[in-house]
Amino acid sequence: MSGGTFVGMPAFPTAAREALGNAQLRHNLAHATGTIRAKRQRLVDEVNEVSDWEELRLAGAGVKEAALRDLGTQLELLEASLTANGATVHWANDAAEANAIVASIAKAHGVDEVVKVKSMVTQEIGLNEALEAEGIAAWETDLAELIVQLGHDLPSHILVPAIHRNRSEIRDIFLAEMGQVGRPAPDDLTDEPAVLAAAARAHLREKFLRAKVGVSGANFAIAETGTLVVVESEGNGRMCLTLPEVLVSVVGIEKVVSTFADLDPLLRLLPRSSTGERMNPYTSTWSGVTPGDGPQEVHVVLLDNGRTNALADEVGRQALRCIRCSACLNVCPVYERTGGHAYGSVYPGPIGAILNPLLKGVGGPGPEGEQVDSLPYASSLCGACFEVCPVLIDIPSVLVDLRAQVVDAHRGGVPKVEALAFKGAAVALSDSRKLAFGERFTRLGLRVARRFGAAKWTSTRDLPPAPPESFRAWWKRTDGGRS
Amino acid sequence: MSARDDILGRVRKALDGVEAGYAVPVAPRIAPLADVVGHFAERVADYRAVVVRCAPDEVAVRVAAALPDGARVVVPAGLSVEVPGADEDGADGRVLTAYELDAYDAVVTDARVGVAETGTIILDHGPGQGRRAISLVPDLHVCIVRADQVVPDVPDALPLLDPSRAHTWISGPSATSDIELDRVEGVHGPRTLVLVLVEKE
Amino acid sequence: MRVALMVTCINDALYPGTGQAVVSLLRRLGVDVEFPESQTCCAQPMVNTGYLDEAVPVVRNFVDAFAGYDAVVTPSGSCAGCARHQHSIVARRSGDATLQSAVAETSPKVYELSEFLVDVLGVTDVGAYYPHTVAYHPTCHSLRMLGVGDRPLRLLEQVRGLTLVELEGADQCCGFGGTFAVKNADTSVAMGSDKTRRVRDTGAEVLVAGDNSCLTHLGGLLTRERAGVRTVHLAEILAATE
């Protein structure tokens, strides 16, 4: 079964307009983001009572930054230690290569299904669709991912992919869809979250018990020890990581940290920033094959898929520090109103607005290029994202830098109206005499704007009345108010 | 060229001129805890786990009391306490299959470390803790932690762990907040977690 | 101390009253503020839309206009933020070493009005009188880019006759965001109308902020909604007397 796909999504303003018109979505999002913001804030305050959240953020950013600046060596170390621990390491330049590797491993074991731990990277590469094309069903086992998959829907949040759905929508999906792919939901299913979770437990248990191949991502990959780490809540991750005979983990190359001790600031930062918990219910770590325990065949696919593009970007490089906590989504006033689908990617919100252009590159052709180029502008630059980021990614600065890259990528062709306007403004604003001349027409300009142009402003907002004279005219006329 | 060489080549090119050897600021510690073990008990209970504190000679009784009457119980080899009627995983050289494990109601294990500030129990799956699967599939997990295993915070726990082993960090029962951010205890992992916290002599 | 007023392009053209208020307020506090007439704009519209080349001559004009002053005061958190944090980016882009050092010289001397009053002049009671119920919206750039903190509130609390009411979700963006308000007009308005709803809930007669750009957006919504709440710049309240 396949879900939807982000391919062909329109540019942000268009996609956002549709989302903004969905009252249920707006309500679900405001409730969910408000709840999680408050939970996070309580824990940050708690940390500040006994320690220092800002110092913890600095340490978390430092651990990631240090590994990124030394990424070549760290990756080679990781490969060596994983291999020494009995894992097989694969490298994939892009999505197609990674998908082919996973598919070939599954086929080598003759399976027609795999169970999956929630993983952003396998969504990024469209693994489920690729496996389906090879006749292999990929079962999502995280509750929210299950809701998305059963609903033939798209994820709209990094942490809570079904954040756009409320309980009654979820009940309807379970009743209609579970029976199509396995154990049906009970007929008397209610919309109580606990009842819905129990239905998911029963539905997935048979899949866990019979699974031969598990697929995961990793939150962290420790170079020195060859250890992968998966952070989760429900235990579906533990099921997938432990019960199958074969485990394949797809890991973005930016997930590397140097030492086991580096887990410290990160494991203190991630759950608090993400679910607003002191610690998530389950964290699993494993270093290759553990004799007599869990999968005895362990594969790790190290994936680039644009990450080296981002790494080469001096300003944008910091986005690779991201630990996918989604705190930036939850505080973002744009995300709160549009939801995740408008960003046209598995990485929505502020981090998505920088990560997608960094991974894919700006200035690309056609509607797809236009979609990517629209993302750095999908922000009011309010800065709330930077304030909460546990690894101090200065998202507003990266957004502004990417906007310059978008503009630069389109220089040289036929200039857009906007480009001409800014060229004109640059001339006027580099000389106060030209500006003063222009200001004599403020009144006229506003009248014209009201009457004809600036519809995007005036269709919903009044313009202020024009003043009788500009400040500089007043200053000149009155000698700065002294006469 | 292999994908490996491609990627490493691009990484090195991207970082051309970037200095390695970045100085990582030391993560701050929490203020000393007056009662580390008490704090641990509180924080574990905060996840809506059941916390039972007892003297060393009461462990067997408290564990038995945590197990429902007639429950089918699995235990790992080397468990610190005798659980009458329980089956031992790996006894007679035969480990239980996933389906067999699914037929058990409960599991009793020891642990490696307790982390007070976060209310976390860490298993390193050594003797008394068993394979990862046995403390996962049954719906009730009774976990024994000794007071002297409890440390204040995460940075105190990491040096005690051997990275070559697999670890499971457990903070309360299985839970999800995927439906309207409303926390529900119990999805796929054990829906009930009982901590038997053994006080010092 | 030689103090210059950076009135900002939007205040110059649309809100001369805000500039006049800063002048009368500072004179009352004994500062003989000057207005370098060659000033134009901080270049933020260009920088934040991605037109860095176009921003270069504007920043060059800025540093020329304000060279030699000990402090540059502006009634805008956003423009102060641009001068302090973004001019260096533009200067680096220009590759012009002279411009880079001129920016390094000027940038740190740029103060948002409340910073100048509290930090440089050391006053919170500016002798103002304003007998109205007022809700304060901290604009994002003053809050997060500059970190003005509670300075505007400390100033407002000392204004005689003024009743300050708390605005729920005050620190959430109003949705203006420069060209965001036009490029993503629908989202901008959705954010703005949530903000104006909360403003109306306070029962305030006046919404005050330190940036007329945000107030243009919110004021435009409030008048369209016929909400009966007017928007006033912080400087104008602090300049008001009995």
Q: Which residues in A lie closer than 8 A to residue C184 (C-beta atoms)?
A: 12-13, 16, 334, 377-378
Q: How far is B200 from chain A (nearest CA, A)?
A: 26
Across the interface, whether the CB atoms of C37 and A422 are under 8 A apart is answered no
Set of chain B residues whose Cβ sits within 8 Å of the Cβ of A200 = 187
Q: Are A285 and A229 in contact (CB under 8 A)?
A: yes
Counting residues of chain A whose pLDDT is more than 70, the rounded percentage is: 97
Closest CA to B120 of B190, B171, B160: B171
CA distance A73 to chain B (A): 9
**Mutate which of B179, B182, B193 to test chain A, going by most A C-beta atoms within 10 A?**
B179
> CA of A457: which chain C residue's CA is closest?
C182
Q: Is the pLDDT of residue A426 over 90?
A: no
Which of A458-462, B19-23, B175-179, C219-223 reaches the highest mean pLDDT? Answer: C219-223
Residues C57-66, mean pLDDT to the nearest whole number: 97
- Dist CA B59 CA B52 (whole Å): 10
- A224-243 in b/e form (b: 16+ CB < 10 A) is bbbbbbbbbbbbbbbbbbbb
- Mean residue pLDDT of chain B comes to 95
- Indicate whether A462 pLDDT > 90: no
Tokens read off for B4: 């490996």
Residues C144, A383: C-beta atoms closer than 8 Å: yes
- Which residues in chain B have their CB less than 8 angstroms from residue A277's CB? 171
**Chains with 3 or more CB pairs under 8 A to chain A:** B, C
Kindly report, residue by residue over B88-105, the tens digit of the pLDDT. 999 988 899 999 999 999
Write the residue in C58, C172, C175 that is nearest to A426 by C-beta. C58
Task: Name the pLDDT band for A417 (thresholds 50, 70, 90).
Answer: confident
Q: Identify the residue whose tokens are 């990484």.
A: B11
pLDDT at A2 over 50: no
Q: Which residues contact A446 (CB under 8 A, 6 or more apart)?
A: A463, A464, A465, A466
**A90: nearest CA in chain B?**
B4
Choose the closest CB to A238 out of B117, B179, B189: B189
- Which strand (E) or helix (H) includes residue C71? strand C71-74
Q: How far is CA A465 from CA C45, C192, C220, in A?
A: 22, 20, 10
Q: How far is CA B122 from CA A218, A337, B166, in A?
A: 19, 40, 10
**What span, in angstroms and rounded, lies between the C-alpha atoms of C76 and C73?**
9
Q: How far apart are CA A242 and CA A393, in angstroms?
A: 34
How many Å apart are CA A239 and CA B37, to the nearest integer? 30
| pLDDT band per the 50, 70, 90 thresholds, residue A448 | low
- Give the pLDDT band of residue C168 (cuts 50, 70, 90): very high
- A408–C173 C-beta distance less than 8 A: no
Tokens of C76: 């805008």
Give chain C positions within 8 Å (CB) of A474. Answer: 16, 19-20
CB pairs under 8 A between A and C: 204
Measured between alpha carbons, how far apart are the two ends of chain C, in Å?
29
pLDDT 10s digits, A143-194 = 999 999 999 999 999 888 998 898 999 999 999 999 999 999 999 999 999 9
Short-list C233, C239, C226, CA closest to C11: C233
Contacts 24+ apart (CB under 8 A), A136-139: A136/A103, A136/A106, A136/A107, A136/A111, A136/A112, A137/A1, A137/A112, A137/A113, A137/A181, A138/A113, A138/A114, A138/A215, A139/A113, A139/A114, A139/A115, A139/A181, A139/A204, A139/A207, A139/A211
- Rounded to whole angstroms, the Cα distance separating A268 from A280 reads 10
Question: What does the longest C-alpha to C-alpha distance in chain C come to?
Answer: 53
Q: Are A357 and A43 in contact (CB under 8 A)?
A: no
Rounded (5°) CA angle C69-C72-C73: 150
DSSP C83: H
Cα–Cα distance, A221 to A251 (Å, whole number):
8
Cβ contact, residue pair A143, B179, below 8 Å: yes
Pairing assessment for the beta strands A297-303 and A88-92 based on DSSP bridges? parallel
The residue in chain B having the minimum alpha-carbon distance to the alpha carbon of residue A145 is B178
Which residues, other chains included, contact A117 with Cβ-Cβ below 8 Å and sequence gap of 6+? A141, A142, A214, A215, A216, A217, A230, A232, A236, A237, A240, A241
Give the pLDDT confidence score for residue A483 in this predicted structure: 83
> pLDDT at residue B56 above 60?
yes
Q: What token pair was written down for A445? A: 């300009």
pLDDT in tens, A387-401: 999 999 999 999 999
Contact call for A462 and C173, based on CB within 8 A: no
Task: Choose among B18, B120, B158: nearest Cβ to A264.
Answer: B158
- A452: pLDDT confidence band, cut at 50, 70 and 90? low
Q: At what angle do helices A349-360 and A366-374 cross, to 10 degrees?
A: 140
Neighboring chain B residues of A302 at a CB cutoff of 8 Å? 7
End-to-end C-alpha distance for chain B, whole angstroms? 64
Q: Please list every residue in chain C whose beta carbon sits closer than 8 Å to the beta carbon of residue A472.
A: 7, 12, 35, 37
Q: Which of C173, C182, C191, C217 best probes binding to A when mutated, by most A CB atoms within 10 angstroms?
A: C173
Whether residue C136 contacts residue C209, with contact meaning beta carbons closer than 8 Å, is answered with yes
Locate the chain A residue with the closest alpha carbon to C16.
A471
CA distances from A22 to A19, A65, A128, A173, C97 (A): 5, 40, 28, 19, 52
Identify the chains in contact with C, defined as 3+ C-beta pairs within 8 A: A
pLDDT score, position A451: 61
pLDDT class for A208, splitting at 50, 70, 90?
very high
**Whole-number percent of chain C with pLDDT over 90:** 100
**Closest residue in chain A to residue C46, using alpha carbons only:** A422
* Mean residue pLDDT across chain A: 94
Chain A residue with minimal CA distance to B30?
A: A51
The proportion of chain A whose per-residue pLDDT surpasses 90, expressed as a percent, equals 83
Q: Shortest CA distance to B150 belongs to which of B171, B170, B122, B124?
A: B122
* Segment A112-131 mean pLDDT: 97
Chain A segment 117-176 residues within 8 A of B by beta carbon are 141-144, 147, 160, 162-163, 166-167, 170
How far apart CA B33 and CA A458 sit, in angstroms, is 59
Among A55-64, A458-467, B102-111, C115-124, which is the least confidently predicted range?
A458-467
- pLDDT the model gives residue A453: 54
Residue in chain A closest to B95 (alpha carbons) equals A292
Whether B182 contacts chain A with CB within 8 A? yes
Q: Which residues of C touch A382 (CB under 8 A)?
A: 140, 144, 172-173, 177
CB contact under 8 A, A384 and C144: yes
As beta bridge partners, residue B193 has: B141
Interface size, chain A vs chain B, as Cβ–Cβ contacts under 8 Å = 259
Q: What is the mean pLDDT of residues C86-115?
A: 97
Q: Which of A233, A290, A292 sits opposite B176 (nearest CB)?
A: A233
How far is Cα B53 from Cα C84, in angstroms, rounded to an integer?
A: 58
d(CA A255, CA A375): 24
Q: Is A162 in a helix, a strand, or coil?
A: coil
Report A:313-342 residues touching B (Cβ under 8 A): 317
- Contact (Cβ atoms closer than 8 angstroms) between residue B149 and residue B113: yes
- Identify the band that residue A3 occupies on the pLDDT scale cut at 50, 70 and 90: very low
Is C49–A12 a contact, with Cβ atoms under 8 angstroms apart? no
d(CA A5, CA A15): 14
Whether residue A292 is predicted with pLDDT greater than 50 in this model: the reply is: yes
Closest CA to B142 of B26, B77, B64: B64
Whether the CA torsion B116, B117, B119, B124 is positive or negative: it is negative
Q: How far apart are the CA of C213 and the nearest CA of chain A, in angstroms? A: 11
Alpha carbons within 13 A on the beta-carbon side of A392: 14
C114 token code pair:
């409340």
Q: How far is C79 from chain A (nearest CA, A)?
A: 13
CB contact under 8 A, C49 and A480: no
Query: What rounded mean pLDDT belongs to chain C?
Result: 96
Residue type (1 letter), A117: V
Q: Do B184 and A194 touch (CB under 8 A)?
A: yes
Position B183 pLDDT exceeds 90: no
Contact B24 A59 (CB under 8 A): yes
**Distance separating alpha carbons of residues A117 and B175, to the nearest angstrom:** 15
Helix/strand/coil for C87: helix
Confidence category of residue B20, pLDDT binned at 50, 70, 90: confident
Interface check for B80 against chain A (CB to CB < 8 A): the answer is no
CA distance B27 to A47: 13
- Nearest CA to CA, how far is A377 from chain B (Å)? 26
Do the chains contact at B24 and A239, CB–CB below 8 Å?
no
